[in-house]
Chain A
């Protein structure tokens, strides 16, 4: 098995999950409580990666990161190297692609928190932000953990977006799924099968963990 690809995939998945905890939780908290009339548009944008072919998403991301786009140019002038076909570009693409896998379970878990608990906290003098960390998040913890685990697993196995945005550069953008594709191209079925089996076993284990978390009654 390609050890570089394995390390890269895990690093990418871990950083994507961490980033989505930071970005996804506020978005999910907003979705869980907002009554804004245009909320369905925000929900649709978050959910798009679920239905869009990865190549379409990858294509737009590639264009956005390319030196022809203002964002791509700004990146080059700031960091001195292009975003496309780099690990940073891959990370950004992963975050966008895995957004619904994090935000949807987070939002579901947060909207299941009894609003009376939040109100009780407010009447006890605790601010909205502190209430989120002291009440909403701990009560929704099983759902948040499930969302994080799903995000991690999903990032580990993604292919289309990675290929479009990252290409296949060893140690920089070649992930496990790309390594499998690569091995098959070279008719190295033994390596492909080892890597595939590893991903299969890992995905299965992740789902078992996720479903057992979900079945657990809310703490207490």
Chain B
């Protein structure tokens, strides 16, 4: 596939785990493809196979129409010749070199002046100019991450591969760097492929997403669509959040953020530093349904709509309500019977402001 990546990778492990992942994706410059899945789903193995760090048992990998691996033809391009930058989960900075030495590490092919220019240029992009003389041991987690990104980008790779890029950081740093990383990845002239098991990270950083379960790709598509419309129950269980609504942040009201999606309006707790475009994420079990406006409740979000579909799941019923946007509610069978829920019935969906999680959208 020209201008993209095509993967058909088979690999089995001594413990009995198996990977057989097949997918094709067009990769746009600045686009981010997320490989999402629970731990042990094979996403890191797949990323390592893309980098050439892991050799699959069989299959093929091609990038921009160029074969990187083809077991039938006996092709294996070593990592050195793939020009794919790799960001390790724990960053893997060289402890015996300064931050500047780390950034310059992959620039051995350049002349002295060109090399130092490239280091300065990359350091400026990552805002680490003041750290170049320091050893990795003297850097904070966030600083290490930036140095590692600079090191991977300095040789101008054609593709950037990131293995759980935020998981080694503490929570406040992670929040801070997530936005920064999103802006950076989207402004690079190259595509990125990012591995994560974190929903917020996937939504915040990804454009498109491939869901891996037990070594196989179950669904690919735009991130919000995969989250809000899982193709099967396995994907639904893995992605977890049933309602992912693209919204526009329009203002504040009583300390809460106001976000709109068409006619629907959400109030949510402010996560801080939100751009105008965001996703409102609501889990189906957090949505309460009522027949008609009754006594006031403490829930800040009241969305009027009609029941669009009902799916029985054992003791629970999955109700889709069309409120201008589609919201999925998970209610008990007894609750559904008491309300007399049926397709076409007008209802109101109630959601507490705390249950609406806003995630920045690329």
Task: Give A residues with C-beta under 8 Å from B.
Answer: 114, 116-117, 119-127, 130, 134-135, 138-139, 141, 218-220
B contact residues, total (Cβ < 8 Å): 28
B93 to chain A, nearest CB (A): 8
Q: Show 13 residue pairs from A and B whose CB-CB distance is below 8 angstroms, ordered by the A residue.
A: A116-B88, A117-B94, A119-B51, A119-B86, A122-B53, A123-B85, A123-B86, A125-B80, A125-B108, A130-B108, A138-B96, A219-B96, A220-B137
Contacts of B88 in A (CB 8 A): 116, 119-120
Give Cα A130–Cα B80 distance, bound, in whole angstroms: 12
- The answer to whether A126 touches B135 (Cβ under 8 A) is no
A139 to B92, CA, bound (A): 13
Closest Cβ neighbor of A141 among chain B residues = B96
Q: Which secondary structure dominates chain A's binding surface?
A: helix
Q: Once the chains are docked, how many angstroms separate the CA of A139 from the CA of B151?
A: 18
Flag if A121 contacts B105 (CB, 8 Å).
Answer: yes
* Residues from chain A with Cβ under 8 Å of B80 in the complex: 122-123, 125-127
Residue of B nearest to A120 (CB): B92
How many pairs of A and B residues are in contact by the CB < 8 Å rule? 68
Contacts of B155 in A (CB 8 A): 124-125
| B95 and A218 contact, CB distance less than 8 A | yes
Given contacts A126-B105, A220-B135, 18 further A-B contacts (CB under 8 A): A116-B90, A117-B94, A120-B86, A120-B151, A121-B94, A121-B105, A122-B79, A123-B51, A123-B80, A123-B82, A123-B86, A123-B152, A124-B151, A125-B109, A125-B155, A135-B94, A220-B95, A220-B137
Report the nearest B residue to A135, measured CB to CB.
B94
* Contact yes or no, B92 A116, CB < 8 A: yes
Q: Tell me which residues across on chain A come within 8 A of B81, comparing CB atoms.
A: 125
Rounded to whole Å, the gap between the CB of A141 and the closest CB of chain B is: 8
Docked complex Cα distance between A35 and B84 (Å): 27
Q: Which residues of B contact A125 (CB under 8 A)?
A: 80-81, 83, 106, 108-109, 155
B106 touches A124 (CB 8 A): yes
> B136 contacts which of A126, A134, A220 (Cβ < 8 Å)?
A220
Using A116-B90, A220-B137 as known contacts, say yes or no to A123 and B53 having CB atoms under 8 A apart.
Answer: yes
* Cβ contact of B53, chosen from A119, A134, A135, cutoff 8 A: A119
- Is B189 in contact with chain A by the CB < 8 A criterion? no
Tell me the B residues contacting A by CB distance below 8 Å: 51-53, 78-86, 88, 90, 92, 94-96, 105-106, 108-109, 135-137, 151-152, 155
A127 CA / B109 CA spacing, docked (Å): 12
- Report yes or no: B92 in contact with A117, Cβ–Cβ below 8 A: yes
Closest Cβ neighbor of B82 among chain A residues: A123
Question: Which residues does chain A contribute within 8 Å of B79, judged by CB atoms?
Answer: 119, 122-123
Contacts of B51 in A (CB 8 A): 119, 123
A219 and B105 within 8 A (CB): no
A119 to B82, CA, bound (A): 13
- Measured CB to CB, the closest approach of chain B to A103, in angstroms, equals 23
**Chain A residues, CB < 8 A from B90:** 116
B151: which A residues are within 8 A, CB to CB? 120, 124
Q: Which residue of B lies closest to A138 (CB)?
A: B96
9 shortest interchain CB distances as A-B pairs? A124-B106, A220-B95, A116-B92, A220-B137, A123-B86, A122-B79, A120-B92, A138-B96, A219-B96
A123 contacts across to B, CB distance below 8 A: 51-53, 79-80, 82, 84-86, 152
A121: chain B residues at CB < 8 Å are: 94, 105
**Set of chain B residues within 8 Å of A218, measured between Cβ atoms:** 95
**Given A123-B51, A124-B151, A125-B83, are A219 and B78 also a contact pair (CB < 8 Å)?**
no
Name which residue of chain B comes closest to A139, CB basis: B96
Cross-chain contact of A139 among B53, B84, B95, B108 (Cβ < 8 A): B95
Instruction: Kindly list chain B residues whose C-beta atoms are within 8 Å of the C-beta of A139.
Output: 94-96
A119 contact set on B, CB distance < 8 A:
51, 53, 79, 86, 88, 92
Residues of A within 8 A of B83 (CB): 125
User: Which of A114, A126, A127, A134 meets B92, CB within 8 Å?
Assistant: A114
The residue on B at minimum CB distance from A121 is B105
* Bound-complex Cα distance A138 to B108 (A): 17
Q: How far apart are the CA atoms of A31 and B336 in the complex, in Å? A: 67
Distance (whole angstroms) from the CB of A119 to the closest CB of chain B: 5
